[in-house]
Each structure stands twice: as structure tokens, then as C-alpha cells.
Amino acid sequence: MNSKRLFWILFFLNLFNYIDRQVLFSVFPLIQTDLHITDFQLGTLASVFMIVYMCYAPVVGFFADRHPRQYWIAASALLWSAATFLSGLAKNYASLLTARAAIGIGEGGFTTIAQPFLAEQYPKNKRATILAYFGLALPAGAALGYLLGGVIGGSWGWRAAFMLVGAPGLLLGTLALTHIKDREHRQLDKRKKPGLIQYLSLLRNKSFLFLCLAHAMQTFTLGGLSAWMPTYFHRFFEMDVAQAGLVFGSMVIAAGALGTFIGGKTADRLLKKTDYAYFIVIAASFILMIPFAGAGVVSHRMPFSLITFFIAMVFIFVPLGPISATLVALSSRKIRSMAFAVNIFLIHALGDAVSPAIIGHLSDVFGLKMAVLACVAILLPACVFLHLSAKYARSEGRLIRYYAQDAMEV
């Protein structure tokens, strides 16, 4: 199919993936008042999504490596969109919790499959850029989720917010079913389908595993900052809650767009000079973020801190495209869906599933400023893992085989 049409279908699906995921948080107070639930129950609505999301990824990765992936992409989109819509019809807490779990299944299936599927439709020298453009949906969708949830929820209630943001995904899922074709798996016969030994090879792929650990550290930082920076602005810059949310949300969407664009373009241009372009761009972004974030924390001048925090946020988004492109390079085409599934499980289990709680504990003991610095400092061991990933990729000859021939198995 036309690669541009494919990109836009997947991009808008990814956009609503994050809109539907984030809209919950902006209507927390409305749900709590209506359903008479505790803060713990509210938090569980977010936790159940993430637990189901990361645990389901390996399951769908297994089946996606065996069947035409357009069906899994479409089914995932239809499931999470329907579950988001039905969240607005929830009569009690249990039914809303069930809907959030179903959203985790749908979005876990889509995220696992969409990135490698999209990457395979483009030449290797354009993949970091394409995956970076695809990744723009993360900051844009998150910001729109907060915005739409607040506006719709404030005007017509939280139920209308879920129903209105869930409806477009039903149309997009139908488009995915009718307009996406998986050329690779259309030609796959039973003899070529991966077996257990090939899946276990991921555990012996040291370059892949170390990259996943580096990616988990980046996810830890991004997830931790996303959870705590509005509170940081409220405490130290004397912003009210609404101002803090608006300022940080604006920073995320602007820094996310700029960072992902810079990361993808820079990596693909540098690829003309070295096969290790992705590793270089990722490492540079990790290293450069630390001093800017540190300067923002130690400064007592709000304008200076906001500028340095914004620059730091740009750098944390720079690796999104290069990391996805590197995962493609380091994994075999036959088991690429499972490779992304394993990555999704690890980065969330070791990253943003735990970082908000850890930072909160550090804040209780040492203060929020020290907790934020610790959150950013985790990128130092990430650089070590990234170095080990590049080292084993070189010793195992994975990049040489990957770039030598476009159709060659890694």
C-alpha cells in the first residue's frame, strides 16, 4: 500500500492511543465525586491500565509474528476505542476498572506491532526520522488528552469526555482493517514461523537487552518528570495547580515535537557517516539533558529554570525515534513484534511503572529538588548500558549484517 497513507493512518491511531490513555487524569475529580471513590481507587484506574498493557504485550507479540499484522492493529484499535467509549457508560467503579483494563489490552497490542510494522515500510536510512514523526503523537496526544478531558469534562461531564475521544478510534480502526496490508506475513508459511528457540534468542541478544535497559532508564526519567514536575512548579514557582499543569503541558508538547524531530533527522543524517549513528544520538541526548535539568533545579530564578527545564525536556524526547530504529536493527524480522513486546514490558516494569512512587519516596526523605535530580541522574547508568549495547552489536556483527543488505535477516 501507499507508505504515506499507511503512515497517516498509524499516526492518527497513535495520537488517539495517547489521547484516550491520558484523558482519564483530567477528569479524576469528576469521577471521584460521581462514583464516590477514594484516591487509592482513582490511582488504581491508572495502575490497572499499565499492568495489563505491559503484561499483554508479549502475548500479542507472539501471535503477531505468526499472522497478518493488519488484523491485530485494527482489532487493537477497535478494542481500546470501544473500551474508552464504554467507559462513559460505566455504572460503577468495577465496570470503569474493567474498561481501563480493556484499554490496556488494546493499546498494548497496537504499540507492540505498529512501530516495527511502520519501520519495515521505509528504507533503513529514513527509519529514525519516520519513527520520530510517529513518536510525535506521544506529546501531542498526551497534551490533547489533558486538554480535551478538561474542556469536555468541564462542560458536559466525564462520561461525555470518554465517549467523544473514544469515537474517532472506531473509524480509524476500521480504516486500518480495510487499508493496511502486511506484505511480509502474507508470504509467511508455517515453516518460516518462529519457534521457541528463536524467541529465546532474544535473551541471548546482549546488544538488544542492554538497549532495553538503557531505554528503561530513559522511560524512568520521562515518567517521573511527567508525574512530578507540575507539583514541582506549584511548590517552588508559586503557581496554582491549573497554571502548573498548563505550563508543563505546553512544555511537553513543544519540547516533544522539537526533540523527536531533531532526534530522527540527526540520526538519519549521521547514519551516512557511521553505522553507530543511533547510539551516538541517544547517548548525546542523555548526557546533555543532565546539566540543563540540574541547572533548572539549583537556580532560584523562575524564568531561567523554565528555560533550562524546557531544553532538558527537548533532550529527553530526542532518543524516541533513534531508539525505535535501533530496536528494529538489533532484532530479527521474524520475531520483531516479540522484540518490541519484550522492550515494552521491560521499559514500563523498570521505568514509569515505578518511577513516580520512587521519586515520591525520595521527596519525602530528601525533598523534591533532590528527588528530581536523582530522577535525571539515572541517565548516567543508561549511558553505560548504551555503551554495552553498542559494544555487543559490534562484536556480534549485528549492525554489519543489518545495513549490508535491505532484505537480509539480522
Instruction: Yes or no: say if 278 and 132 are a contact pair by the CB < 8 Å rule.
Output: no
Domain presence at residue 32: yes
Quick one: 189 and 256 in the same domain? no
Domain presence at residue 261: yes
pLDDT-based confidence at residue 407 (cuts at 50, 70, 90) = very low
Instruction: Yes or no: say if 176 and 52 are a contact pair by the CB < 8 Å rule.
Output: no
Taking residues 352-366, report their average pLDDT: 87
The HSE-up count of residue 103 (CA atoms within 13 Å, CB side) is: 32
116-166 tens-digit pLDDT: 888 888 888 888 889 889 988 988 888 888 788 888 888 899 999 999 999
Quick one: 189 and 205 in the same domain? no
**CATH code of the domain covering residue 104:** 1.20.1250.20
Quick one: 292 and 181 in the same domain? no
Instruction: Yes or no: say if 97 and 63 are a contact pair by the CB < 8 Å rule.
Output: no
Quick one: 381 and 249 in the same domain? yes
318-330 tens-digit pLDDT: 999 999 999 988 8
Quick one: 92 and 206 in the same domain? no
Q: What is the pLDDT of residue 60?
A: 86
Quick one: 187 and 228 in the same domain? no
158-167, 194-203, 336-345: the lowest-pLDDT one: 194-203
Q: What is the pLDDT of residue 185?
A: 54
Domain presence at residue 233: yes
Alpha helices in 157-240 (DSSP H): 158-179, 183-186, 196-204, 206-236
pLDDT more than 90, % of the chain: 46
Question: Which distant-in-sequence residues (6+ apart) come within 8 Å of 405 by Cβ?
Answer: none
Q: What is the pLDDT of residue 410?
A: 39
Question: Which distant-in-sequence residues (6+ apart) come within 8 Å of 332 by Cβ?
Answer: 194, 198, 201, 339, 409, 410
Cell of 319: 532518543
Q: What is the pLDDT of residue 380?
A: 96
Question: What amino acid is encoded at 146 in this protein?
Answer: Y
Distance between CA atoms of 209 and 91, rounded to whole angstroms?
43
Structural domains counted in the chain: 2
Q: What is the pLDDT of residue 356?
A: 84
Domain presence at residue 305: yes
Instruction: Yes or no: say if 133 and 11 are a contact pair by the CB < 8 Å rule.
Output: yes
Domain presence at residue 344: yes
Q: How far is CA 132 from the centre of its chain?
A: 11
Q: What is the pLDDT of residue 275?
A: 86
Higher-confidence residue: 127 or 99?
Answer: 99
Q: What is the pLDDT of residue 194?
A: 67
Rg (CA), the chain: 21
Q: What is the pLDDT of residue 401?
A: 60
Domain presence at residue 143: no
Alpha helices in 27-92 (DSSP H): 28-35, 39-64, 69-87
Higher-confidence residue: 4 or 371?
Answer: 371
Higher-confidence residue: 395 or 91?
Answer: 91
Domain presence at residue 88: yes
pLDDT-based confidence at residue 333 (cuts at 50, 70, 90) = confident
Distance between CA atoms of 119 and 320, rounded to whole angstroms?
13
Q: What is the pLDDT of residue 192?
A: 63
273-299 tens-digit pLDDT: 888 999 999 999 999 999 999 999 999
Distance between CA atoms of 148 and 41, rounded to whole angstroms?
23
Question: Residue 96: which domain range?
Answer: 1-122+156-193
Length of the chain: 410
- Give the number of other CB atoms < 10 A from CB of residue 26: 22
Which range has the top average pLDDT, 46-50, 76-80, 134-138? 76-80
Instruction: Answer with the one of 138, 164, 193 that is the final residue of a domain.
Output: 193
Q: Determine the longest span between alpha carbons in the chain, in angstroms.
A: 64
Whether 221 has a pLDDT exceeding 60, the answer reads yes
Q: State the chain's mean pLDDT as an integer.
A: 87
- Integer CA distances (angstroms), 42 to 167, 240, 286, 334, 358, in order: 24, 22, 33, 40, 19
Quick one: 363 and 389 in the same domain? yes
Q: What is the pLDDT of residue 85?
A: 96
Quick one: 232 and 86 in the same domain? no
Q: What is the pLDDT of residue 5?
A: 86
Higher-confidence residue: 189 or 376?
Answer: 376
Quick one: 188 and 222 in the same domain? no
DSSP for residue 273 = T
Distance between CA atoms of 326 and 127, rounded to whole angstroms?
9
Whether 189 has a pLDDT exceeding 60, the answer reads no
Write the DSSP string, 286-335.
Answer: HHHHHHHHHHHHH---HHHHHHHHHHHHHHHHTTHHHHHHHHHHHS-GGG
Instruction: Yes or no: say if 101 and 48 are a contact pair by the CB < 8 Å rule.
Output: yes
Quick one: 330 and 256 in the same domain? yes
Distance between CA atoms of 159 and 31, rounded to whole angstroms?
9
Cell of 298: 539549583
Quick one: 290 and 386 in the same domain? yes
Distance between CA atoms of 142 and 9, rounded to whole angstroms?
18
304-320 tens-digit pLDDT: 999 999 999 999 999 99
Domain presence at residue 95: yes
Question: What amino acid is encoded at 280 in this protein?
Answer: I
Q: What is the pLDDT of residue 98?
A: 96
> Which candidate, 370, 218, 203, 198, places its Cα nearest to that of 287?
218
Q: Give helix then strand counts, H and E, for the chain.
A: 20, 0
Q: What is the pLDDT of residue 27?
A: 85
Question: Which distant-in-sequence residues (6+ apart) come within 8 Å of 393 by Cβ?
Answer: 207, 279, 329, 330, 399
Instruction: Answer with the one of 193, 219, 241 that is the final residue of a domain.
Output: 193
Whether 31 has a pLDDT exceeding 90, the answer reads no
Quick one: 108 and 218 in the same domain? no
Taking residues 246-259, report their average pLDDT: 88
